[in-house]
Amino acid sequence: MTPTYWTNVASPLGPLLLTAGPDGELTSLSVPGQKGGRVVRDDWRRDEGPFREAGEQLAAYFAGELKEFRLAWRTEGTAFRERVWAALDGIPYGSTVTYGEIAALIGAPRAAVRAVGGAIGANPLLVVRPCHRVIGADGTLTGYAGGLDRKVRLLTHEGVLGERVP
C-alpha cells in the first residue's frame, strides 16, 4: 500500500488537514468537523515536507495576496464528479456561480442539479478547489461541507459578501 502523508496548516478557518501521496500531490484538504472530511489514520505519516508550497500559498491566500492556487493535486472520483470538480477550478476568485450554472457548464441536464450538489459536497480539496463559490439559484448560501460559517468567511474574504475579514 502506498503511504499517505499529512500535516496541519494553521488558518483563519481553524487547522487545515492536508494529505498527499508519495508523489507530493495534494489529495485532500479538510477543516475540523467537515462533513465527509478526512481524519488522520494510524498508518499515515506526518511530514511537512510535501506541503511547503501548499502552506505558503494558503498563507498568501488568507493574507489577500493570492487569488489563484497553483498546486499539484490528484483527486479520485467518478467521471461525473471529476467533471464537476474541474468546473469548480474555473470559478474566478471573488465571484460565484449557481449549481445550475455548473450543471450547464458540464453539459448535464437541469435535473442534474442535485447530483451536481452531491459532487460539490464531496469535493476533497476545500478552499483550493473553490466549492465555496457555488450558491443557490436565488443567491442564497446553501450547503458547504466545511460549514456555512466558513463559507461566509471565505466569500467575505474574497469580497463577495460585505467587508473583507482580516
The catalytic residues are 131
- CA gyration radius for the chain? 16
Angle CA(153)–CA(77)–CA(129) in degrees, nearest 5? 25
List, in sequence order, the alpha helices (H) in the chain. 52-62, 79-89, 99-105, 113-121, 148-157
CA atoms within 13 A on the CB side of 42: 0
Question: Distance between CA atoms of 79 and 76, rounded to whole angstroms?
Answer: 9
- Look up residue 154 and give its three cell numbers: 471565505
